[in-house]
Amino acid sequence: MLVALAGGVGAARLLAGMVRVTDPARVTAVVNTGDDMALHGLHISPDIDTVLYTLAGRSNPETGWGVTGESWTVMAALEELGGETWFRLGDRDLATHLYRTQRLADGAPLSQVTGELARRRGIAVRVLPMTDDPVRTRLTLAESAGDLDAGVEVAFQHYFVGLRHGVAVQAVRFDGAAESRPGPGVLEAIASAEVIVACPSNPVVSLGPILAVPGVRELLAERRDRVVAVSPIVAGAALKGPADRLLTELGHESSAAGVARMHAEWAGTLVIDTRDEELAPAVAAAGVRPVVAPAVMSSPGVTEALCRVVLDAAR
């Protein structure tokens, strides 16, 4: 059984490949909920939805989030009213948020609602929120942005979408993480997995929250020989999103070697792209076994080959 630690778009893409090379019923995804947000009175779980839409074959291939073939009637009408439309919610995507919000109001935990959404979309992979408790990623700006001064703390989506992550950050914290408990099935899945893959997600804001849930990092460290991370940094840059800048701004090195040093405590192996082959000795020097392979998921074929490399590396 394989457990994937999953954040945003890169994780969903790897998972889409993983279910083509191994039995989906033997795959469990532990998903980041630090990006979750309340907006329009709705509970929005972006990373969970990105995983669910991708595994259902319904994700928007251009953006990596939301639903393909989406319509925007509600957003346009909301715009006319002068409502908040900075965070784009398509008509089909809204159905997910309406369903989730009602079920949470019924008293169902996020994990149960996520299971319902997965089943309704015919998804065999077990998709588990990292916790059912509220954990929210918050970032402290290192410079002013518009009317926001340096030192101001903003919620994740305000940083990522509102500010288009175009502002330097001086600190990141996961509000609520210390009080949170691993979601149902999370520790058990990690404890019994033959392979644990840390997807090529942003080490700071996608994997960071999962590792901040008490008990998760310690258990991964105990099983580090089964943990294979895939570097989200290739030739010093992130393939999508602010991972490289966040790493540098927070004092890490934005390179495959820097990622190895960050993950060394709990990941025994790091898959690095062929372009970073010369960093293999630095990865090894960090105490992490380097595996060099094409790690830029430019096509389903490359993604599937990468998934096979991950499965083989853990054995």
Q: Which residues bind ligand FO1 (CB under 6 A)?
A: 8-9, 35, 44, 46-47, 49-50, 65-66, 87-89, 93, 157, 160-161
Residue 79 token pair: 């715009």
Residue 195 to residue 207: CA distance in whole angstroms: 17
Which C-beta is closer to ligand FO1: that of 29 or that of 283?
Answer: 29
Ranked by CB distance to ligand FO1, the top (closest) residue is 8
Which C-beta is closer to ligand FO1: that of 160 or that of 174?
Answer: 160
Beta carbons of 98 and 80 less than 8 angstroms apart: no
Which C-beta is closer to ligand FO1: that of 24 or that of 64?
Answer: 64
Nearest approach in angstroms of CB 22 to ligand FO1 is: 24
Give the CA distances from residue 106 to residues 62, 100, 101, 140, 201, in Å, rounded to whole numbers and listed in that order: 35, 10, 9, 34, 32
E strand spans, the chain: 2-6, 27-31, 37-39, 42-44, 126-129, 136-141, 153-155, 169-175, 195-198, 227-230, 233-234, 237-238, 269-272, 289-292
Residue 221 to residue 214: CA distance in whole angstroms: 13
Residue 202 to residue 252: CA distance in whole angstroms: 13
DSSP 206: I
Which C-beta is closer to ligand FO1: that of 7 or that of 17?
Answer: 7
Nearest approach in angstroms of CB 242 to ligand FO1 is: 10
Nearest approach in angstroms of CB 182 to ligand FO1 is: 21
The string of DSSP codes covering 239-269 is SSSSHHHHHHHTT--SSHHHHHHHHTTT-SE
Angle in degrees, CA 128, 171, 218, rounded to 5: 40
Which C-beta is closer to ligand FO1: that of 115 or that of 209?
Answer: 209
Nearest approach in angstroms of CB 65 to ligand FO1 is: 4
Which C-beta is closer to ligand FO1: that of 24 or that of 162?
Answer: 162
Nearest approach in angstroms of CB 205 to ligand FO1 is: 8
Nearest approach in angstroms of CB 34 to ligand FO1 is: 9
Which C-beta is closer to ligand FO1: that of 99 or that of 187?
Answer: 99
Nearest approach in angstroms of CB 96 to ligand FO1 is: 8
Nearest approach in angstroms of CB 274 to ligand FO1 is: 26
Which C-beta is closer to ligand FO1: that of 193 or that of 233?
Answer: 233
Beta carbons of 266 and 221 less than 8 angstroms apart: yes
- Residues 141-175 as b/e (b if ≥16 CB within 10 A, e otherwise) read beeebeebeeeebbbbbbbbbbbebebebeebbbb
